[in-house]
Amino acid sequence: MNRRYIIAGNWKMNKTPAEAAALIEEIKPLVSDASCQVVVGVPFIDLPAALEATKGSQIGVAAQNCYWEKAGAFTGEVSADMLREMGVQYVILGHSERRTYFGDTDMTVQKRVRGALDAGLTVILCVGETLEQREQDITGEIVAMQTKIALGGVSVEELSRVVIAYEPVWAIGTGRTATAQQANEVCALIRSVLSGLYGPEAADQALIQYGGSMNAANAAELLAQPDVDGGLIGGASLKAPDFAAIVAAASR
Ligand code: PEP
C-alpha cells in the first residue's frame, strides 16, 4: 500500500496572527514541490490569517482543538462547525498537552472526534504513553485503549478522515525522540488495532504519524519506517527551514 505521507506542524500557543502569516509566507515557497500533505496547526486566533496566507497553496490548516456541541452556552469554546465554515480542514484532537493541562480524557476526546467528523473535518488524533507507562511496559495497552475509545462510533468510511499521531508523551518538547524502531513498533501496533476494528484493508490505508521531537536531522530515519506515514511536529514546525526539511524528507 502506498500511503501519502502527512507532515503537520503543531504550533501550540505560538505566533500572533501577523507572525503566523509571515511564517506561512516563509514556508510556502520551501514546500511548493512537496508530494506529501502539508498542514499547519495554528492557534484559533490565527486561523483567518493562516487560511488567507495558505490560499492557492497546497498547505492545509488545522485547529488545535474543538468542542463537540454545535452551539450553545459553552463560554470560551469553539465548535467544529464554526471551524468548518471558515474553511479549516483539519483539527488536532487529544494532544497530550490538552489531556495533561486541560482535563481532556479518552471520553471527551471521543466526543470531540465525533463532533469534528460530523462537521466534515479531518481529525489528527493524538495518542501516546507517558514515561511511567512505558517503564511499566504497558505502552501497547495504553495506546490501544486510547485509540479504541477515541474511535468509538467512528465508521470505516469516516476512518479515512482520521489520521492517528503516535506521540509518546516523554518525547514531546523534550528533545528526546523515540528511536525509529520504537516509533515503528507502536505505529504498527496501532495499525493492528485498526485492523481488528475495521479490517486489514482499512488499516492498510490508514495514516499513522509519529510525533515527539521530530526534527530536520532525525526525520528521514523515522519516516523511512514502514508503519510511519508522516509526522506531527511541534518545536521544529516554527522554523521554516527545519519544517521544510522534514517535508522534503517525507516527499522522497
Ligand atoms: C507536538 O506538540 O505534538 C510535538 C510533537 O512537539 P515537539 O515536536 O516539540 O516534541
Nearest CA to ligand 1 atom 4: 234
Going from the Cα of 237 to the center of ligand 1, the distance in angstroms, rounded, reads: 9
Q: pLDDT tens digit string along 119-155? A: 999 999 999 999 999 999 999 999 999 999 999 999 9
pLDDT bin (cut points 50, 70, 90) of residue 2 is confident
Q: pLDDT tens digit string along 28-74? A: 999 999 999 999 999 999 999 999 999 999 999 999 999 999 999 99
Residue 216 is classified by DSSP as T
C-alpha cell at 135: 517503564
Question: Which position among 157, 158, 167, 221 bears the catalytic label?
Answer: 167
**Residue 126 alpha carbon, nearest atom of ligand 1:** 3
Q: In angstroms, rounded to a whole number, what is the distance separating the alpha carbons of residues 168 and 121?
A: 24
| pLDDT value for 31 | 98
Question: Which position among 26, 77, 95, 97 bears the catalytic label?
Answer: 95
- State if residue 218 touches ligand 1 by the CB under 6 angstroms criterion: no
| pLDDT value for 190 | 98
Whole-prediction pTM: 0.98
In sequence order, which residues have a C-beta less than 8 Å from that of residue 198 and are 6 or more positions away? 156, 159, 206
Q: pLDDT tens digit string along 67-109? A: 999 999 999 999 999 999 999 999 999 999 999 999 999 999 9
| pLDDT value for 34 | 96
Average per-residue pLDDT in the chain? 97
| pLDDT value for 191 | 98
Going from the Cα of 235 to the center of ligand 1, the distance in angstroms, rounded, reads: 6
- State if residue 54 touches ligand 1 by the CB under 6 angstroms criterion: no
Residue 150 near residue 110 (C-beta atoms within 8 A): yes
Residue 46 is classified by DSSP as G
Nearest CA to ligand 1 atom 7: 234
Q: Exposure string (b/e) for 45-77, b if CB count within 10 Å is 16 or more?
A: ebbbbbbebbeeeebbbbbbbbbbeeeeeeeee
Per-residue pLDDT for 1 more than 90? no
Q: In angstroms, rounded to a whole number, what is the distance separating the alpha carbons of residues 122 and 90?
A: 5
| pLDDT value for 167 | 98
The neighbour count for residue 1, using CB atoms within 10 Å, is 8
Per-residue pLDDT for 252 more than 90? no
Phi, psi at residue 212, to the nearest 5°?
Answer: 140, 95
- State if residue 182 touches ligand 1 by the CB under 6 angstroms criterion: no
Nearest CA to ligand 1 atom 2: 234
Q: In angstroms, rounded to a whole number, what is the distance separating the alpha carbons of residues 31 and 21?
A: 15
Going from the Cα of 73 to the center of ligand 1, the distance in angstroms, rounded, reads: 32
Instruction: Assess whether 25 carries a catalytic annotation.
Output: no
- State if residue 128 touches ligand 1 by the CB under 6 angstroms criterion: no
